[in-house]
Structure 1
Amino acid sequence: MSLRRWGAVLAGAALVAGIAVTPALAADPFTPKVTVTPSTGLDPAGTKIVVKGTGFDPAANDAKGFGLRVGPAKADVRDRTGKDFQVSRLIKKGAVGSQIPLDDGGNWEYTVTIKAEYVASGTTYSAKTQPFSLFVFGWDTPVLTWDSKTPLKFTGIGDPDPGPGDAGAGLGWGVRQSWRSYITRGGGTVTPSNGAVLDPSAPNVEPFPYKWKYGSSTWDSGKGVVSYTGEVAYTFEAHTIWDFTLADPRITFAGDGTGKLTAKVGYSFYGTKAAPTKVRAPSDVVFADLKLKAPSQAGDNVVVDIESAKLTKEGADAFAGFYQPGEDVDAGRIAFPGKVGSPPTTTTPTSPPTTTSGPAPTTTTSSSACVFTPGSVAQGNLLWGFKQSFRRYVGIGTGTSITAADGVEITDIDKIAGTGPPSGAYRWGFESAQYKSATEFTTQFRGKVTFGYPSHSFELSIGRPKVVVAQGKGTLYADVELKTTGGAPSPPVDRPGVALASLDLSAAKTTEGAGVVSVAGVKVILGNADAFAKFYKVGEVLDDATVTLGAACANLPGGAGAGPGPGAGSGSGSDDLVPDVKYRPDSALASTGVDGGVWLLWGLLLVGGGLALVTMVARRKRA
């Protein structure tokens, strides 16, 4: 046999056996690299930086692209639903809108002005308290191949003080998480100052609590008083909260594992900003009763963790009745100079506090008689907005409507600016519940929300959501009805009790207290596309949901204007890096008979990983 034939035989045998002999692989031409010019010596008032990337394979990451964000190292910096960054952009081939173009060779460039301080969702983020960086990462993937972090250094701003996640002296305490959520998600403002800073290192994050500056302390083997300085001011003008300020918290240790938290509280509510009808001058309040863990020594500091904190009657009154005595406020960490077993000592900071302490706290009792048990469920609600982008799509249209009936309320939570119809998330009324635990329950809610878009030939209703959860996962059922008029590309749909979405509680936060249990941050993923005439694909992320249940004696959050409540829900509003774009499908659609050659928007479609409005042609019928 000839040498050539032998070679062919051997090659065939190798293929049959699954063996391939290949030459040495060429070096991968795509090695991601990011440069930022300049990245140091930045003017806090604003500096233009140039960001360049090389070696980003346009086909990598399933061609979804790469994310770029600027801001503090928040836990959601890589998340699709990450929010409140100074800059959020998508880098990809075929970029549209504000996306950053990526060429075939893997190169991209972006110029932007960066400042040392910015406001997002009502919260002030400052490089003085949280270091800023420029982050690049694979978009919507857990793969870290393309990740980079470039610190941004501003002139005159060093690294911030450590937070209470370490043993540094200071008080790590956030007042109450649902209060912070209520203010920030509703579009209010939060301004820490005079020694109080945002603290992303604390356990209770998003929106971040605060670290308060150490002031002075007297400590005697478990007894004493520790004072801190700083203030946090809240405003929410849409709900006539013109000002609520809490300042200079002070901890009194009783020596038996309990304590009191006192703070100066002042506010102006209701009426008008110029003439509020409810006003309190800043003055001391015994705000919370504390249950404390055993003190521990950390270097030169005593560290005491707050196991639980209950609102006193005086503290509830200082919240203008938004909360009831005995309700939980935030726990936290107390750290101050001293020794766990030392004799009485008094210490002061190197710089005295700017404010003075008020009178000694008085004894106040609190009540927490209302207790939630699996058999005591008598009320509740579901806070769920379906999908923010759909609310926006309908809300900004002409002649559209969004209406609620049969026990559901349209709130101002996650409200979208610039819409005609009300566009906030929905609080669905309670009908029944069977509850075993926060990871195993069944709840039926009532109400119906209807989206009307006459010029786009449809009316869509969602009603009576039902949540069934077991072992931390579950299903959301609902009645879905789609009514269409002539020329619509879909027939009507009527699906009562359809299994609409899957639920994931793995990242949900459960809070309990004062007869209430709230499960917030439930992930909702579409599981049935047919129910929406395939407007969305299965797997589409819908808004997060919050389920709140209570005993008959509990006070649940009421209407959007009734003040905050436990477990304020979160919509899916975010700095999503994929903007809405118009997409024109195949024009071979049936003529709608609409005069004037009008473009009709219809449906929603995921384009390049982001939500896109679907535009279709409506041709005038020819006579």
Structure 2
Amino acid sequence: MPVRRRRTIALAAAVATSAALGATALAATTASAAEVPLFGYELTWGIKQSYRTYVTGMAEGSFTPADGAVQAAGNGVFTFVEGAGSYDSTAHTVDLAFKGSLKIESKLHGFELALSDVKFDSADAEITADVTRNGATTDDVPLADVTVTRAMTDMATTLTKEAADVFGSASYEGAAGDPLTVVQKTASSPSPSPSASTSASPTPSASPSPSDSASPSASSSPSDSASPAPSASGSDAVTNGDIVDGRLGWGVKESFRTYVVGGVANGKITVSDGATQASGNGPFTFTGATGTYDTDADTLSASFEGAVNFKGHEENGSYGLDLTLADLKATLDGGSGALTADVTSLGEKSEDVVLAELKAKSSDLTATDGVITADGVTATLTEAGAKAFSGYYQAGAELDPADLSVAVTEDAQLPSGDGESGTAGDSTGATGSTTGGVSGALASTGSETPVTALGTAAGVTVAAGAGVVFAVRRRRAAESR
């Protein structure tokens, strides 16, 4: 009969420091939980390296992964796949179950066991698995306590008393296990933009460094033609040259805007230098485009004026979140491209960070009445963009779509932008702002759940731009019923 255990909740040391976008979002509330489905995750854990060495060495045994689970080469760690479960947007916790099984056996030392239905629960801060020995299965055996971090990568683990029993060594109780990583694997990776260079992988940092980004290469459009003249027909005769003016409509990400001005960050959004924000905490419009275009080659490269600043988690005049995006640039080449910006996070500036891969609905960039328009351009977060947001969202996350319109003739009439006029409380003119107080916390669905929000349901302390997350851990008192 399975052993039942009673657990008491204790605060334990799992400290996650956020230097930019506030792991401080992990505040416990008494509101009812809002469960958001999660899917497509993988869990990688090696149990304990010395145990793997013992099994395949002295015990002359083997590990046999099955049902989708795999083992890394060289008697390496194990990965369990197709993790699915839920995210509690009130408590900011995840509960995931993974596919795959692992058979461990040694005829020489006379043991055979199997692990299956591996689970990770950030609220309990533990790894569990169904354990089968001698033909009997015990469900949800706690194998390790986990020091939960906001990134959920390389989390420290401590083997439990139950793990010591399962793996056959009393010395394992309280011993350090292998680090645990839980990551989402996107269904498809966005293809690199033809007009964006691919720099070396950025080194982890709280805020991006210049090496974190790759600047999209300028299009090869010739720019030596005379200023285009308007034609009487809908399509313009001049096919390449300089951009006269233009607008970029982009909201970054709606759930992020909601979070910044919501009851957790209790912050504000401020636009400046010609940028505007639509009413109701809406998207932003950046103006004054310059650059080049070539409608025959279906390429354009446009830079936009305006900046937007996000502030939140204020404590004694200091902000745990202080992020500015400025000097936005958009490139398209055959329907694909990149969106870059100068990123300033907590006073540290990085130029030309590639925030998103762009994918237009059509590769065609025909000018009509002197205007090239590309609406609803899909924007997908890049690795460099994820670094710019301090891991708040994972690379591959879908950002708000972008709307591009650029004038290629002096008398062309651009469509009005959403941010052209604002109402009280929103951006009006060049330097309006949206302030905190809007109800709600992290608004996200499905696979777009912010990584930073995945922690534990304990309180959060904000101190001079950093959040300290106290993970909830469960102390076990093994107790037979």
TM-score, normalised to structure 2, is 0.40
Structure possessing the higher radius of gyration over alpha carbons = 1
Higher relative contact order (CA closer than 8 Å, sequence separation 6+): 2
